[in-house]
């Protein structure tokens, strides 16, 4: 069985890793770009600063994934471990994350508005299950938290309003609200910051997130990985892929990790697929600020900060030099901020002004005191950053994936399967591993088909 893999991000590399591990030698991975890693690639600019495509951190739901990661960099002492310090900048102050457990840190009138909303939902039973994310926010957190944080922040993240999104994806992605915990934190003036699966995470000592995937590629047979090999056509009847360089490759099984919408354009059929209207996505603009000096005390230990207000274009900023001193050329005299801005048909971004807008936003939110500390900037645009979990996504995607499998095409990964809730690096890698297990020994693909199961803690305290 010849298996052809399209795409060298975590999912495609996961499939290749598993095939190699099981001694299935008849496979080939083809990556369209000149480097491996997909959305988890890293870049070193001309001045020696390292940048990622957004704020990636390594945490896992899988023992298998952990073991593979350890085997890649542990032998060279290549990991740094961090306790997560996530914050929110709003009302001209830093507030501990998650906000719903720390609303006592807000001005009193806003604190009361949020607390009143939480009390209101305790006293009212849901007549029916919310049918969109916006209604779910109101029913789960109350109108105060929705007004001051959750609605404006989620619009900045998703580049669409929450009422245009479904609710099946939420799971562990949004911290629940606990009235007792809210009141306890207020009474004792505690900072409750431990929620979430990424409260402790790893990061490569050198090379950014992309170093993980470069190291993994180095451990695979060189003749199995082909870079700069972009697919331009797929004949599912002859089971053959055409590439931009004029070559073609036959296959018995095709594992695709490119975006589902892009895949459909390449498949040669008498009656081509129609792109489902529910397959929406947001684009990502990443602006890196390379800075002189050292981080101010307020940012000295922070990992990332969320920004719900409209005085800045970014929704999240990572203090990237805090992840590793090797993310900057001289950690004693340089530091860096990595800012993320979303875009969609409902939220346009002007690429000609985005860098200037980010710098002004950094000034407005007091991340930097003035422009004099700015050494240079770095900019990256990713057309497809995140698949949007619309209400009609699952009814559109599930039958499409099944239909493709009937033709020997298995579409997996963040955009290959169009499932945000299993689109982290560990999820994507395991989608590739589990697809191979399914093909070679009929194992269940838990991550793709049962995302809530893999994202839930088991009674033993262990993750699936």
Packing angle, helices 425-441 and 63-73, rounded to 10: 110
pLDDT of residue 320: 98
Mean pLDDT over residues 40-62, rounded? 93
Mean pLDDT over residues 365-382, rounded? 98
Residue found under tokens 């992605």? 173
Tokens of 306: 């969320």
Residue 299 vs residues 90, 117, 125, 302, 375: alpha-carbon distances, Å: 15, 31, 42, 5, 18
Mean pLDDT over residues 408-417, rounded? 98
Q: Does the pLDDT of residue 83 top 60, yes or no?
A: yes
Residue 443 vs residues 211, 440, 447, 453: alpha-carbon distances, Å: 30, 8, 12, 16
Q: Which CATH class is domain 3-34+227-278+390-454?
A: alpha beta
Mean pLDDT over residues 124-132, rounded? 76
Q: Does the pLDDT of residue 194 top 70, yes or no?
A: no
> What is the band of 175 on the pLDDT scale with cuts at 50, 70, 90?
low
Q: Does the pLDDT of residue 75 top 90, yes or no?
A: no
Q: Does the pLDDT of residue 460 top 60, yes or no?
A: no
**Minimum mean pLDDT range among 5-14, 122-131, 163-172:** 122-131
Mean pLDDT over residues 7-31, rounded? 97
Q: Please give the mean pLDDT across all residues of the chain.
A: 92
Pairing of strands 86-90, 304-306: parallel
pLDDT of residue 277: 84
Q: List the domain boundaries for the chain.
A: 3-34+227-278+390-454, 98-188
Separation between Cα atoms, residue 21 and residue 16, nearest integer Å: 8
* pLDDT tens string 251-272: 999 999 999 999 999 998 877 7
* pLDDT tens string 295-321: 999 999 999 999 999 999 999 999 999
pLDDT of residue 410: 98
* pLDDT tens string 420-437: 999 999 999 999 999 999
Tokens of 296: 């101010």
* pLDDT tens string 270-284: 777 777 888 999 999
**DSSP assigned state of 233:** E
Separation between Cα atoms, residue 20 and residue 220, nearest integer Å: 7
Q: Does the pLDDT of residue 441 top 50, yes or no?
A: yes
pTM, full prediction: 0.93
Mean pLDDT over residues 223-229, rounded? 98
Pairing of strands 374-387, 281-292: antiparallel
Q: Does the pLDDT of residue 193 top 60, yes or no?
A: no
pLDDT of residue 461: 40
Task: Spell out a b/e string for 153-165, using b for 16 or more CB atoms within 10 Å of the CB, else e.
Answer: bbbbbbbbebbbb
- The fraction of the chain above a pLDDT of 90, given in percent, is 78
DSSP element (H, E) containing 376: strand 374-387
> What is the band of 210 on the pLDDT scale with cuts at 50, 70, 90?
very high
The percent of the chain in helix, strand and coil, each rounded to the nearest 5, is 40, 20, 40
Q: Does the pLDDT of residue 162 top 90, yes or no?
A: yes
């Amino acid at each position: 069985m010849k298996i052809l893999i399209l795409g060298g991000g975590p999912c495609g590399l996961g499939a290749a890793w598993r095939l190699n591990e099981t001694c299935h030698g008849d496979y080939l991975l083809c990556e369209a770009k000149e480097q491996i890693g997909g959305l988890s690639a890293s870049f070193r600019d001309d001045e020696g600063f390292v940048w990622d495509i957004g704020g990636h951190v390594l945490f896992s739901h899988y023992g298998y994934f952990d073991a593979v990661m350890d085997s890649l960099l542990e032998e060279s002492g290549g990991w740094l471990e961090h306790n997560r310090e996530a914050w929110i900048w709003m009302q001209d102050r830093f507030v501990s994350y998650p906000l719903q457990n720390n609303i006592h840190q807000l001005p009193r009138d806003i604190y009361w508005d949020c607390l009143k909303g939480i009390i209101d939902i305790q006293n009212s039973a849901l007549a029916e299950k919310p049918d969109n994310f916006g209604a779910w926010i109101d029913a789960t957190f109350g109108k105060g938290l929705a007004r001051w944080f959750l609605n404006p922040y989620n619009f900045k993240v998703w580049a669409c309003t929450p009422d245009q999104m479904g609710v099946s994806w939420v799971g562990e992605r949004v911290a629940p609200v606990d009235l007792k915990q809210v009141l306890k934190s207020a009474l004792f003036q505690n900072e409750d910051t431990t929620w979430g699966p990424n409260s402790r995470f790893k990061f490569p000592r050198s090379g950014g997130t992309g170093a993980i995937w470069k190291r993994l590629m180095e451990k695979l047979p060189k003749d199995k990985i082909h870079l700069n090999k972009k697919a331009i056509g797929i004949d599912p009847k002859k089971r053959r892929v055409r590439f931009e360089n004029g070559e073609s490759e036959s296959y018995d099984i095709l594992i695709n990790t490119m975006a589902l919408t892009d895949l459909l354009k390449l498949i040669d059929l008498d009656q081509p697929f129609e792109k489902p209207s529910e397959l929406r996505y947001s684009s990502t603009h990443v602006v890196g600020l390379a800075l002189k000096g050292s981080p101010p005390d307020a940012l000295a230990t922070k990992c990332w900060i969320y920004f719900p207000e409209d005085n800045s274009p970014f929704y999240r900023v990572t203090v990237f030099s805090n992840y590793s001193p090797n993310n900057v050329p001289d950690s004693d005299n340089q530091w860096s901020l990595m800012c993320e801005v979303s875009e969609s048909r409902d939220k346009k971004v002007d690429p000609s002004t985005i860098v200037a807008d980010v710098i002004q936003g950094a000034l407005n939110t007091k991340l930097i005191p003035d422009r004099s500390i700015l050494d240079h900037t770095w900019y990256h645009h990713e057309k497809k950053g995140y698949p949007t979990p619309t209400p009609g996504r699952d009814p559109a995607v599930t039958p499409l994936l099944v239909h493709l499998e009937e033709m020997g095409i298995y579409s997996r990964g963040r955009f290959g399967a169009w499932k945000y809730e299993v689109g982290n690096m560990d999820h994507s890698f395991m989608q590739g591993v589990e697809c191979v297990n399914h093909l070679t020994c009929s194992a269940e693909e838990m991550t793709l088909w049962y995302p809530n199961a893999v994202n839930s803690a088991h009674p033993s305290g262990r993750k699936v």
